[in-house]
Amino acid sequence: MRHSFLLLAVYIAFVNATELTFELPDNEKQCFYEELEQGVKFDIDFQVIAGGNYDVDCFVTDPINNMLYQERKKQYDSFSHTTVMKGVYKVCFSNEFSTFSHKTVYLDFRSGEDDRLFPDQNRATALTQMESACLSIHEILKVVSDSQTWYRLREAQDRLRAEDLHERVHFWSIGETVILFVVCIGQVLMLKSFFNEKKTGVSTST
């Protein structure tokens, strides 16, 4: 059993975030590490895009290896947690229960709080009409971004299924063609043997 340890590549910003799609071979496990401060909220979304029954084991541990999240054979799920200590948090995906199914997994990891759209947004005075419109547009764009991610995952999953179905239909068509040729050749040989028997019978009678 081989363990692959990968470090999460995050953007240097007030909100750390990463989206990645990785391959998870059969009988293997991949772990991702992120160092977080105390009191930081992080969110995890994952989904199996391709492979087997589209399921995977997932678990999250804190710096002292306490289990924060553990689910087995999940197709997709979300998890949120606020850290109670500073240290390295670990997110692992396991395909060790599968002996031949290769999986493709999507992971979205976010930590920290959203940066304020306006630096003085917490002021006592009310927002102007322009600022309110900007905030509304900002929230709508976040919804659009999440929807686009969801549609991309669905498109990738459906495309892989369609390619797999196309490959099966292709091999099935080849098999039917081979069987058809074998049956045709068998019928020709059978009819030829009938004529040979008749010729032999005529020759004997004369």
- CATH code of the domain covering residue 20: 2.60.120.380
DSSP letter (8 states) at residue 195: H
* CA-atom Rg of the chain in angstroms: 30
- Note whether residue 186 is domain-resident: no
- Note whether residue 135 is domain-resident: no
Is 59 in contact with 130 (CB distance < 8 Å)?
no
- Note whether residue 51 is domain-resident: yes
pLDDT, residue 12, reads 33
- Note whether residue 151 is domain-resident: no
User: What is the side-by-side strand order in the sheet with 16-24?
Assistant: 16-24, 103-111, 41-50, 76-82
Residue pLDDT, tens place only, 31-43: 999 999 999 999 9
- Note whether residue 204 is domain-resident: no
CA distance 24 to 8: 16
Q: Which two tokens stand for residue 60?
A: 């999250």
The pTM of the full predicted model, rounded to 2 decimals, is 0.63
Is 88 in contact with 35 (CB distance < 8 Å)?
yes
83 pLDDT higher than 80? yes
- Note whether residue 175 is domain-resident: no
- Note whether residue 101 is domain-resident: yes
Residue of 52, 63, 66 lying closest to 94 (CA atoms)? 52
Residue 75: give the domain boundaries. 3-115
Residue pLDDT, tens place only, 106-150: 898 988 776 665 555 555 566 677 777 777 787 787 777 777 777
* DSSP H stretches of helix in the chain: 129-205
Residue burial 147-181, b: 16+ Cβ < 10 Å; e: rest: eeeeeebeebbeeeeeeeeeeeeeeeeeeeeeeee
Is 106 in contact with 46 (CB distance < 8 Å)?
yes
Is 136 in contact with 59 (CB distance < 8 Å)?
no
Residue pLDDT, tens place only, 150-202: 777 777 777 777 877 888 888 899 988 999 999 999 888 888 887 776 665 55
Domain count, the chain: 1
Is 28 in contact with 96 (CB distance < 8 Å)?
yes
Residue 154, Ramachandran bin (φ over 0: left; ψ between -120 and 50: alpha; else beta): alpha
CA distance 23 to 54: 13
Is 47 in contact with 105 (CB distance < 8 Å)?
yes
